[in-house]
Amino acid sequence: MRKVYRVEDLDCANCALKIEKGIAALPGVTYACLNFISGRLTVEAAEEEMEAVMKEAAKVCRRVDPGCRIING
């Protein structure tokens, strides 16, 4: 299952790359791409794992850039 999320208050392209790599390394994630310019995060994982993956993705996001948030839709 592939879902797209908005990312708000992302500070820089370097942070975006770190977040993307951190999310891509999470168990269950088969694809992750964070576009700094558009603020769109695309994540692919099994449907039954998506909720758990996104909870961990939010932790990665906050660890790299504490003001950053992942928003549904």
2-72 CATH pick, 3.60.40.10, 2.40.30.10, 3.30.70.100, 3.40.50.720: 3.30.70.100
Q: Which of 9, 5, 16 is nearest to 43 (CA)?
A: 5
Of 24, 28, 31, 39, whose CA–CA distance to 3 is shortest?
A: 31
Identify the band that residue 73 occupies on the pLDDT scale cut at 50, 70 and 90.
low
CB 63 within 8 A of CB 19: no
Within its chain, how far is the Cα of 54 from the centroid?
7
Q: Do 60 and 19 meet the contact criterion of CB atoms below 8 Å apart?
A: yes
**pLDDT tens profile 5-58:** 999 999 899 999 999 999 999 999 999 999 999 999 999 999 999 999 999 999
Domain ranges of the chain: 2-72
pTM: 0.93
